[in-house]
Each structure stands twice: as structure tokens, then as C-alpha cells.
Amino acid sequence: MRAAVIQFPGSNCDRDMAVAIREVMGADTALVWHRETALPANLDLIAVPGGFSYGDYLRSGAMAARSPVMQAVIAAAGRGVPVLGVCNGFQILTEAGLLPGALMRNAGIRFVCRDVKLSVANSQSIFTSGYAADEEITIPVAHHDGNYFADAGTLDRLEGEGRVAFRYAEPVNGSARNIAGILNDAGNVLGMMPHPERMIAAVQGGSDGRKLFEGLIREIA
């Protein structure tokens, strides 16, 4: 099993993500700098990690979405390669057009950094098959621009097509319909604001994030 974690100037969760993928999935994991124009061959997973790419100038993820490597990520997603974007990675995936909607400044204009309760809205995707439907899990968040927005028609379509993967169990940042993570129409791209890679072992305070990576092992295999 082979995976790649994309690195941008300002990434700060890239190594956390690589460790989670290696330890839980046992994958040979490469760190790929944003200026690369090609990805390693035969990838089973691409992760776009959290952080503050380019200092969040313009809009969070806006500049990173135009980095050379993102054309390769977009092409790989089009071929069906699973792509996981977490926090800033979610922002980058929306800016790159791989996911609909946008991540705006949190309601209340405050940085939110704490463990939050999530509800698993769709347990049938390749990313969420390790969870039960409506299972409540605890995953940390750390963001200033995690307020998910989309027009009413897009929100209805996401819900109707089962593309809402996770919801906040209670309001966290003002996200429309408490959405915490969404899937693309093909189901192979997931963007989520909470950090599953930070909750894979008891020493981190819990292991609810581990199930995401364990489910991916089974689905990819």
C-alpha cells in the first residue's frame, strides 16, 4: 500500500498525517512538496493535511490550490484515487474545485481548538466504513476558517445524495447544517475540518480517528 502526503509552505499537520497513515494503515508514505508536478506511481491514498498554507493569505487554501502538485492531485482524484483533505486540506480541496462550497471565517470570529463531538452521517463511504451509522465520535478541531457554506440547492443535493460524511453534534463554528465533512459525487474525495490523525491512540486522548484509517485499509484492499 502506498500513500502520499502533500506539503505546502505553512503545512503543520503533514508529519502527523504521515505517522497516522504509516502506523494505522502500514502504508509506504511519501511526503510530496507542493512544487512537484507529478506524484509517486501507484498510489492508494493522497492526503492533503492541515496547517496554514501560504499563511492563509487571500483566502485559506486559495494559493495552495494553484500549486503545481494540485493538478496531479486533481488528475488522480479523477482516476478514482482516494483523496483525504483535513482542515486546511479541506479548504484547499474546495478552492481546487474537488469539493463544492467554501470554508469561511468561524462564527464569532474566534479560533476554535478543542475536542468536539461528531455524528457519522454516512457510514457507507470508503472513508467512513469503520463507523456505524449515526455513531457519535470525538475528534479535535483547530481552525479559524471552518464555517462551511454552500447555497441551499447544493446543501440539499449533498444531503440527498448522502455526501455529508460528518456533522457536528452541536454548533462549533457556524457551519451550514452543522456540516463537518463532505464527499465528492464519486465518493473518493473527503474533506473534513476535524483532525482524525490526532486521535489514533489512547495517549492522544482517544482513538476515534483511528477507525477512519482502519476502514480505508479494508476498502482499498
Give the residue numbers annotated as catalytic, written as ranges. Answer: 87, 195, 197
Q: Count of CB atoms within 10 A of residue 142's CB?
A: 18
Three-state secondary-structure class, residue 140: strand
CA distance 36 to 1: 21
CA distance 127 to 183: 9
Closest CA to 192 of 82, 91, 112: 91
The CA-atom distances, in angstroms, between 61 and each of 142, 176, 217 are 15, 19, 28
CA distance 216 to 221: 8
49 contacts 92 by C-beta, under 8 angstroms: no
